[in-house]
Structure 1
Amino acid sequence: MSFLIRTKQKFSRFFKGLMKKKQMRVGIYGPPNAGKTTLSNRIVRDWTGDAVGPVSEIPHETRRARRKEGVTISDETGNSVTIDIVDTPGVTTKIDYKEFLEYGIEADEAIVRAREATEGVAEAMHWLREDIDGVIYMLDSTQDPFVQVNIMLIGIIESRDLPVIIVANKTDLPDAAPSRIKSAFPQHPVISISGLEGTNVEELYDKMIEYFG
């Protein structure tokens, strides 16, 4: 093969790479203990066999954004989307170290956790402003949606006009009322799931292909 032909092939591959569609970075956001890491792990396990991070009943267990790249989700008709999943810390306006004391954590460690969690929230919001291309906004369907919603987070999502899917989680619990979340967000698709049990995640996957593809 001549040098000229090889050079043309290299340039062809180069320009195809430039024209390739950017892989979306999808952030899973929501309040503490809404089930963000549980859902992140389920998505990643279902499609890669891997996991994102540990799950705990202790609030703010996720204190840094964690990313899994190149997760391809597909449906029975052959449609698919490849995305990076970003599991973020629970977004809240104030993190008090005393929250951790209730779970038997010593004061010194609780103070460290609170500081790390605060830094993690700031990091998550920075990602949302700069690096996130789509959002899965998780809410606990056993709780009042208006108490859980972070106005600043919603403001950033709307100002950047990001595609967003609302997830009403924890439908496996007896006091779940996902209809309240659907009523609160009529302008967005709302998918009711149990991230723990995997109930209705197929509908979520279909919506992710539609919204993030």
Structure 2
Amino acid sequence: MAFFVNTRKKISRFLKAFFRKRTSRLGIYGPPNAGKTTLANRIVRDWVGDAVGPVSEIPHETRRVRRKENITITGQNGSSVTFDIVDTPGVTTKIDYNEFMEYGLEKEEAIKRAREATEGVAEAMHWLREDIDGVIYVLDATQDPFQQVNIMLVGIIESRNLPVLIVANKTDLPDASPARIKSAFPQHPVIPVSGLEGTNVEELYEKMTEYFG
């Protein structure tokens, strides 16, 4: 009799675990060199004291999707949200190995990096279409937001009805213009931050608990 009771308990625990909703996956998206990994590192360090990956001034330093699990953020009102943070390669419509050679890479290494970057873009798009529950879309506030890749990506995010926060990053730079990004995407909240210095990330965290909770 005890065998059957224990067996039922084990089956019950298994079914509860099987049907439990998985942790939401929050994707960090945007064009190359927008500061996605810098912001992802900021979020992870602030809440779990870790990091997602290295950063570089060379485009496409992140060429594979990186994931950190079970990050819990708590807002000032006590509300919280737990998610897996997914740092993705920069998405672009064109990758040319000559671009990497301008940063001092040898031709062979530049070609290898361009190939890996192309594969990384495909991987990022697969995640966006299949496995992402919400998006932080990161833009360099010193750059023109009206670029084809931004219009395309935001359109895909909207077509999936995913909650999205747009981050106007690099506000520590003198020619940053978050207002230009707000005018480009008035349908979405735009949070100006410096992922590098941590400026205004508290507002971002507050919005994250509202949008992704």
TM-score (norm 1): 0.93
CA deviation after TM superposition for structure 1 residue 152, in Å: 3.0
* Aligned pairs for 1:36-185 within 5 A: 36-147=36-147, 149-185=149-185
Matched with 2:189 is 189
Q: Size of the alignment, in residue pairs?
A: 213
In structure 2, C-alpha distance between the alignment counterparts of 1:97 and 1:57, rounded to whole Å: 16
Q: For residues 149-205 of structure 1, what are the alpha-carbon distances to aligned partners after superposition, in whole Å with 9 as ceiling and x for unaligned?
A: 433322321221111110000111111110111111111111110000000111111
Q: For residues 55-113 of structure 1, what are the alpha-carbon distances to aligned partners after superposition, in whole Å with 9 as ceiling and x for unaligned?
A: 10001111111111111111243311111111111110001111111111111100100
SS for the counterpart of 1:68 is: strand
Indicate conservation of the 8 Å contact 2:28/2:36, yes or no: yes
In structure 1, C-alpha distance between the alignment counterparts of 2:76 and 2:17, rounded to whole Å: 28
In structure 2, C-alpha distance between the alignment counterparts of 1:178 and 1:73, rounded to whole Å: 24
CA deviation after TM superposition for structure 1 residue 4, in Å: 5.8
Q: For residues 26-60 of structure 1, what are the alpha-carbon distances to aligned partners after superposition, in whole Å with 9 as ceiling and x for unaligned?
A: 11010110000000111111111111110100011
SS for the counterpart of 1:67 is: strand
Equivalent AA in structure 1 for residue 79 of structure 2: N
Matched with 2:25 is 25
CA deviation after TM superposition for structure 1 residue 13, in Å: 3.5
SS for the counterpart of 1:145 is: coil
In structure 1, C-alpha distance between the alignment counterparts of 2:108 and 2:18, rounded to whole Å: 50
SS for the counterpart of 1:71 is: strand
TM-score (norm 2): 0.93
Percent identity between matched residues is 79
SS for the counterpart of 1:70 is: strand
Runs of 4+ in 1 over 6 A off after TM superposition: none
Unpaired segments of 5 or more residues in structure 2?
none
SS for the counterpart of 1:157 is: helix
Aligned-pair Cα RMSD in Å = 1.8
Q: Please identify, of 144-153 and 25-34, the stretch whose mean Cα deviation from structure 2 is larger.
A: 144-153
In structure 2, C-alpha distance between the alignment counterparts of 1:148 and 1:54, rounded to whole Å: 27
